[in-house]
Amino acid sequence: AERLARQAVTHDAAHFRGRLVLAGTLGARFALIEELALLAALIRDLERALLPEDGHVDEEHDPAAWARHLRHFLYCARGLEADAAYLAADPERAAAALQSASALAPDLGQTASLYSKYLFMTNYRRTVPKTARQAALMFDEFFRGVRAYSHDGVRRVPEKRLRIGYISRDFRLHAMAY
């Protein structure tokens, strides 16, 4: 994938998808310095394409569809930047990238997930405790309309064995599993 992405970028240095794929392949092999530099340039170019200073809009594409396309690439690039910055021991940059990505997230679930990662970054950043607490309390906003599960209607059968299930995305892919 890296070889093909490099070929695409060599053929067209401004190719957004090729640059994004290349950044992902660099991250997969922990070439973080190269990945972060590539992402910084890509993000700059995507933002310029979304908000051109000269007002020029690419006539070749439907403007609304093209803007959605660019926003999706920017969302992905910011996500890769957050992960790479975190792994490169730059939690401030990771947190900023997470905030930027959350503004571009396609749905509330993705926004909540990014905000959760942002809160996790407070463990590695110099954050005033009061500020960290306020940020954590804001996480409640994602669940404002969610009704808590009620255990009132559960039928109890004393002679039957109680089964307890655990749900976690970390059972298979967490660092501790390795």
Given phi > 0 = left and psi -120 to 50 = alpha, else beta, which region is 89?
left
Q: What percentage of the chain carries pLDDT values higher than 90? A: 33
Q: What is the mean pLDDT of residues 10-28?
A: 90
Residue 59 has pLDDT above 70, yes or no: no
Written as six digits, the tokens of 109 are 């679930």
**pLDDT at position 60:** 66
Q: How far is CA 35 from the centre of its chain?
A: 15
What pLDDT is stored for residue 147 in this prediction? 83
Instruction: Give the mean pLDDT of 10-37.
Output: 91
- What ranges in 29-169 are assigned the alpha helix state H? 32-50, 63-87, 91-104, 108-121, 129-138
In the structure encoding, which two tokens stand for residue 1, read together? 């994938």
- The predicted pLDDT at position 46 comes to 92
Residue 41 has what pLDDT? 94
Q: Is residue 30 very low, low, confident or very high in pLDDT (cuts 50, 70, 90)?
A: very high
Is the predicted pLDDT of residue 57 greater than 80, yes or no? Answer: no
The whole-chain average pLDDT of the chain stands at 86
pLDDT digit string, tens, across residues 121-171 = 888 888 888 988 998 888 888 888 888 888 888 788 889 888 888 888 777
How many Å is the maximal CA-CA distance in the chain?
Answer: 75
